[in-house]
Amino acid sequence: MALVLYGHPFSSYTQKVLTALYENATPFEFRLIGPDTPEHTAEWLRRWPVRKFPLLVDGGRQVAETPVIIEYLQLAHPGPVRLLPADPLAALDVRFMDRVFDLHVMDAAQCAVDGALTGDPAKRRDGMARAVDRLDRVYPWLDRELAGRAWATGDHFTLADCAAAPALFYADWTHPIPDTCATLRAYRARLLARPSFNRAMEEARPYRPLFPLGAPERD
């Protein structure tokens, strides 16, 4: 049975796993969760009533949470690109940066998105203020941390970069990375040009009108 991934192309966390799958050309079936595919939604909810996607199904095993999904893929369906190093300390660095991008970049941007989705102007302003405050703290740190690196932890594309690509993609739409963070801006550009993420980004392009803050005319 082929791997099955439940998710939505415009979801940052779905894009994170899609990037890992595309990076290694891993065969899988994508089941879009949306109003036009109620059968996929019903099956996803039956399997994972927590209501979070993506969800990976591999025969009788199902795997949730994006870092775990990507580590599982490396264990059960390895490809030429190793997304988590064999060395335990190097792997710890990758896991740390993965958490930084998920929890301190993507989650920060999500504050603004969630506020806008309420339709309440006050909550929209509050959500944006929280996002700006958090992103203004993490952007300079990332700019310093990434100095001299091609990718998140060094010379090799890893799980951390799978997390960074959608996180920085949407965060920059929400609160642009300042010109003073030239290293971070250049890193984001490399991520968007990476064929694996670029494919996921292009597949999501038809859904850009759904971005509640208004998608910019770029990228």
The predicted pLDDT at position 158 comes to: 98
Number of structural domains (the chain) is: 1
With a cut of 80, say whether residue 142 has pLDDT above it.
yes
Exposed e or buried b per residue across 76-90, where buried means at least 16 C-beta atoms within 10 angstroms of its C-beta: eeeeeeebbbeeeee
Domain that holds residue 129: 88-194
C-alpha span between 40 and 212 (Å, rounded): 24
Task: Specify which residues 94 forms β-bridges with.
Answer: none
The span from the CA of 138 to the CA of 132, in Å, is 10
Residue 157 lies in a domain: yes
Q: Could you tell me if residue 39 is inside a domain?
A: no
> How confident is the model over 81-99, as a mean pLDDT?
98
The DSSP symbol for 181 reads: -
What is the percentage of the chain residues whose pLDDT exceeds 70? 100
Per-residue DSSP letters for 34-87? STT-HHHHHHHHHH-TT--S-EEEETTEEEESHHHHHHHHHHHS--SS-SS-SS
Q: What's the CA angle centered on 148, arms 190 and 89, to 5 degrees?
A: 95
Residue 57 lies in a domain: no
Question: Which residues, including other chains, have CB under 8 Å from residue 185's CB and lie 6 or more apart?
Answer: 177, 179
Is residue 215 one of the residues assigned to a domain? no
In a domain, 122, yes or no: yes
pLDDT band per the 50, 70, 90 thresholds, residue 171: very high
pLDDT for the residue 204? 98
Q: Which two tokens stand for residue 94?
A: 């990758």
Tokens 């929280």: give the residue.
130
Spatial separation of the C-alpha atoms in residues 12 and 6, rounded to whole Å: 13
d(CA 118, CA 130): 15
* Rounded Cα gap, residues 202 and 198, in angstroms: 6
ω into 178 cis (within 30 of 0): no
What is the C-alpha end-to-end distance of the chain, expressed in Å? 36
Taking the C-alpha atoms of 142, 67, 196 and 31 in order, what is their torsion angle to the nearest 10 degrees? -140
Residue 188's CATH number:
1.20.1050.10
Pairing between β-strand 28-32 and β-strand 3-7 as defined by DSSP bridges: parallel
pLDDT for 1: 59
Is the residue at 209 inside a domain? no
Please state the rounded mean pLDDT for residues 31-40.
95
When pLDDT is averaged across residues 110-120 and rounded to a whole number, the result is 97
**Residue 113 within any structural domain of the chain:** yes
Claim: this prediction has a pTM higher than 0.95: yes
Tell me the pLDDT band of 2, cut-offs 50, 70 and 90: confident
Is 105 part of a structural domain of the chain?
A: yes
Mean pLDDT computed over 69-92? 97
Q: What is the mean pLDDT of the chain?
A: 97
Q: What is the pLDDT of residue 8?
A: 98
